[in-house]
Structure 1
Amino acid sequence: MDTDVTPLPPGGRAAPDDVTHVVVMGVAGSGKTTVATLLAARLGVTYAEADQFHSAENIAKMSAGNALTDDDREPWLAAIRDWLSGEAEAGRPGVVTCSALKRAYRDALRTAVGRVRFVHLDGPAELLAERMQGRSGHFMPASLLPSQLATLEPLADDEDGLTLDITSEPGEIVDTVVARLASA
């Protein structure tokens, strides 16, 4: 694909600092996994789900309906950052999901090797709740959505990324992401 979103030169390997990662962010139910999976496939890059970086203690806490604290999130964010850095050191860009609700969390992720860009999936609380209630097999209960919405600090104008409305179809969102990130 002819885009700087996938900065792989011929031979399939980029210098670590030349790698661009995409973090698909937003509250639970925003479609992060769906969009990130499609985006990674479209770009032909590695994908990781942020939930795989949570400790067993964090998963148990959320499963019980308790919101995580900043202290709970710190090792989780470090693990995601380290995964991104590992991908960059291998010369590969990556796409990862992460709620990244606060700027401080995004700042932690930005310390990864390479360029870290954010795609914030945003939408109405009613749609988010409806999506969460329709999921099965996920540890995050819909009862935690209000705390996530209260914690959310949307991307600021000086942050490297874009915000998209989740009411569009996932394929349309990915089309927009590819076009917008390639032009920036």
Structure 2
Amino acid sequence: MPDAFHAIVIMGVSGVGKTAIAEALAKRRGWTFVDGDAFHPASNVEKMRRGTPLKDDDRWPWLRAIAAEIDRQRPGPRPIVIACSALKRAYRKILTDGRPGVKLVYLQGGRELIMSRLQLRQGHYFPASLLDSQFAALEEPEPAERALVIAIDKSIDAIVDEIVQTLNS
């Protein structure tokens, strides 16, 4: 299985569990976890903290930094698992173009479930008030993107099981 890809991007709107799922998947498989949020410049974090949605111009440098990390890790001994919203096709294109070993996993869920999770989350700079802007920006992966689509209405372990089983098939 690791020969088929060198990076898995766990994507979706804020609150779907990207970080928790990516960390759990990486831990279970012995792969490297990379938190896409760590690549945001301070100006992006401050905008989100203030409740200001990011614009494309805010996201391009962030996405290019994540793409550079994928390239940097590519010769590594094991795949990496990256938590990154990658909401639009153009964003995903930055991460996948020229990188056939990048696999997308789209965590899909309804607004009500995700909002309830965001309202419980503490210590994160992303406020629940920005969720609607995430859904407005979201372009679900098209079939040509060959993303795994995973529903988030189950436990972390069950979601990771489903990802592993699908990657193994």
TM-score using structure 2 length: 0.95
Q: Which amino acid aligns with 1:87?
A: Q
More helix by percentage: 2
CA RMSD of aligned residues (A): 1.3
Q: Deviations over 1:1-25 (max 9, x none)?
A: xxx1x23xxxxxxxxxx64210000
**Conserved in 1, the CA contact under 8 Å of 2:5 and 2:103?**
no
- State the structure with more CA Rg: 1
Q: Which amino acid aligns with 1:176?
A: E
**Conserved in 2, the CA contact under 8 Å of 1:29 and 1:129?**
yes
How far did residue 90 of structure 1 move? Answer: 3.0
**Conserved in 2, the CA contact under 8 Å of 1:155 and 1:162?**
no
Is residue 2:25 matched to residue 1:39?
A: yes
User: Runs of 4 or more off by more than 6 Å in structure 1?
Assistant: none
Q: Deviations over 1:36-75 (max 9, x none)?
A: 0010011111101111000000000110001111110001
Is residue 2:120 matched to residue 1:134?
A: yes
Q: Which amino acid aligns with 2:50?
A: A
**Residue matched to 2:86:** 100
Q: Which amino acid aligns with 1:24?
A: I
**Residue matched to 1:53:** 39
Alignment equivalent of 1:146, drawn from 132, 150, 157 = 132
| Equivalent position SS for 1:158 | helix
**Conserved in 2, the CA contact under 8 Å of 1:19 and 1:92?**
no
After TM superposition, the structure 1 stretch with the greater mean CA deviation from structure 2, 161-170 or 51-60, is: 161-170
Q: Which amino acid aligns with 2:163?
A: V
**Conserved in 2, the CA contact under 8 Å of 1:89 and 1:113?**
no
Alignment equivalent of 2:142, drawn from 156, 161, 165 = 156
**Conserved in 2, the CA contact under 8 Å of 1:26 and 1:99?**
yes
TM-score using structure 1 length: 0.88
**Conserved in 1, the CA contact under 8 Å of 2:16 and 2:152?**
yes
**Conserved in 2, the CA contact under 8 Å of 1:81 and 1:111?**
no
Q: Deviations over 1:126-156 (max 9, x none)?
A: 1111100101110000010001001101111
Uncovered stretches (5+) of structure 1, i.e. residues with no partner: 8-17
Q: Deviations over 1:87-144 (max 9, x none)?
A: 1033431100000000110010003645111111111101111100101110000010
**Residue matched to 2:56:** 70
Q: Which amino acid aligns with 1:179?
A: Q
**Residue matched to 2:168:** 182
